[in-house]
Amino acid sequence: MTVTRKTKTFPAQPAPRPPTQALSVRTVWSENFFRRFRSVFAPHLAALGIDTRLLEQADVEIPGEHYIALWEAAGGDNPNIGIELGSQTEADDFGALGHALHCATSVEMVLRTLQRFIVVFAQESMIDFEFDVRPAYVEYRVNAPTILYRRQDSEFAIASILRQLSLITGACIKPVRVDFEHDKPADTSMHKRVFQCPVHFRQASNRIYFTGDTLQLPVVSGNERLYQALVPYLERERQSRSIGDEILPQVTHMIAAGMSSGALSLVDISQQLGLNRRTLQRRLKDHGIEFSSLIEDVRRELALAYMKGSDYSVTEISLLVGYAESSSFTRAFRRWTGHSPQQYRSSCQRS
């Protein structure tokens, strides 16, 4: 089976730039999903600078941060849009990856396929799972620590996993627990209706937990021959879309996580990664990055995100990004933007 695809990347100008210019732009394919739900996303494309061909073609590629921003914009119209659409997904919504999932011959093969090839659909996304604990779980995360608001993407991903497993097995699967990183929404009735289990918020990661019996369910649509035909294409796509050196997102995530208590030092991070300090410096320099500049970039992007999307006070935000005094934060903010924090927040509210 030969599958060809032309790359079309349409940058969204108004979205925040990555924490450093040396970062590769990680992208998401349109596949069939956006065409099916065009009425949900069409009203928000212009404001985000996303090309409307996203709604018409399966081979359009957009930066991952703009994909998440599009979900959050749609969430402004319907706070439960992620769960609603996730629980309606079909195999074709995820292109060749979706069809491979439905051809896998066991639930374990389904999850291993999703883990290995999720990058084919979305480079910023990661799937992990653990079978050797009870209950077993599947975890979803996004390698973008400076994107603070991603509720809709997380809920869409977890609801999609449940939906696809139910379709693949032909069973009414009921998880035993669901965790989300984000705050608890005002209305959780949709969460209770879709997941039918305890749902916890402000957790360390996004996870859906299953009983061991779920892993043993037969797959009604398994087709080993077709699966083997799809895997070579997926493997080629995975290799072409994989980021060669994952050290940069790891370091960025560690800096963001430790920002409120004071950014971690190069020595601290190198020890956590099990690397020599000079080795870490060299690998960062391979990306054209100095460690001190990366800290500054992460601090700036976190500060802009908090000012634009939260109701935290200037004092609270200054502490969250590692400043002991709000006056020092204000001076830094003027250096970054040319405006005071209050002026920047006001301009965001008017736009």
- Over residues 313-344, the pLDDT tens digits come to 999 999 999 898 999 999 999 999 999 999 99
Q: Is residue 336 part of a domain?
A: yes
Question: Which residue, of 241, 275, 298, is where some domain finishes?
Answer: 241
268 and 225 co-located in one domain: no
Q: Is residue 37 part of a domain?
A: yes
Q: Is residue 292 part of a domain?
A: yes
154 and 264 co-located in one domain: no
Q: Is residue 5 part of a domain?
A: no
Domain encompassing residue 109: 27-241
CATH number of the domain enclosing 299: 1.10.10.60
pLDDT value of position 66? 92
Question: Which residue, of 241, 265, 296, is where some domain finishes?
Answer: 241
Question: Which residue, of 188, 214, 241, is where some domain finishes?
Answer: 241
Q: Is residue 343 part of a domain?
A: yes
Long-range contacts of 178-183 (CB under 8 A, 24+ apart): 178/207, 178/208, 178/209, 179/203, 179/204, 179/205, 179/206, 179/207, 179/208, 179/209, 180/151, 180/154, 180/155, 180/206, 181/154, 181/205, 181/206, 182/149, 182/150, 182/151, 182/154
Q: Is residue 315 part of a domain?
A: yes
Q: Is residue 33 part of a domain?
A: yes
Q: Is residue 166 part of a domain?
A: yes
Say what percent of the chain tops pLDDT 90.
62
319 and 335 co-located in one domain: yes
Residue 48: pLDDT band with limits 50, 70, 90: very high
> What's the whole-number mean pLDDT along residues 174-197?
96
221 and 291 co-located in one domain: no
The 10s digit of each residue's pLDDT in 81-95 is 999 999 999 999 999
251 and 220 co-located in one domain: no
160 and 290 co-located in one domain: no
Total tally of structural domains belonging to the chain: 2
165 and 63 co-located in one domain: yes
